[in-house]
Structure 1
Amino acid sequence: MPKRSLKNVLINNLTSRSRDSSQEHFEDNRHQTQTGQVSQTSHSENSFQESLHENSHVSACPTRTAKVRCLQNLTNIIRAERSYDLDVSRDRASQRVATENDEQRERRLQDLRQRAAQRVATENDEQWERRLQDLRQRAT
């Protein structure tokens, strides 16, 4: 069975088993009054069974409070995902800038090496020309 993410579970809880909000509100109030009565007569076995039955019925269909809590959890998950996505984007951008800087540095060094090699070659050519000229003058 594939593992579902908490986000998908929360979305599913919000969208499934939806009921009329007035019915939901009525059941919330009924549950609150019954739990108040149960706490007064908690020693009674019948009221305990009724409480179990009512709690299982309420938990089977999400209440408005549960939906609000679910929406808050979803909001927190989405914020965390966005924050993570932004962090990943920032890391990738900084790596790209670092790589570009390395490439620019390498290009600059290569250019400097070429210029230095050309300068040395030019100086060697000039020195060779001077030597040839000196030899010609001595020969004449």
Structure 2
Amino acid sequence: MRKILKQILILSFTLITSNYIWKNLDFQNKLTTIILVALILSIFESIIKPIIKILLLPITIITLGTTRILINTLGLYLAVFLIHNFELKNININSFAWQGFTFPDLKFDSFWAYLVSSITINLIYNLFTKTLYKKKKN
């Protein structure tokens, strides 16, 4: 039970951080929505994801692990589908210049927005868990 509560808390902070980066997750300013999304993602991570990983193991081996990203994207899509107060919007990145290079406008629609958000959430989640659960050396 404690493990699930820790996972929900970390996922809540992860969702807030990811929303701060891309500004595409719409929780309709409700803390309960964030916690519900974290709960759905936690259940997906704990129960559904291991089953899907086993079923897709041959494909994962052939594609060198890229199906894991799609599995995480499926979890995010499931959360959006189940929670009506939660919405994932398109990602728009305005053009910018950096040291003489000009980068064009980027727009990630539908599937690509889910994919980019899923990758971001996964990276931030791994960063938080590695930082919080770092073992102390004696």
- Structure with bigger helix share is 1
| Category of TM-score, reference length = shorter chain | under 0.3
Instruction: Look at both structures and tell me which one has the larger radius of gyration over its CA atoms.
Output: 1
- Structure with bigger strand share is 2
With normalisation by structure 2, the TM-score equals 0.23
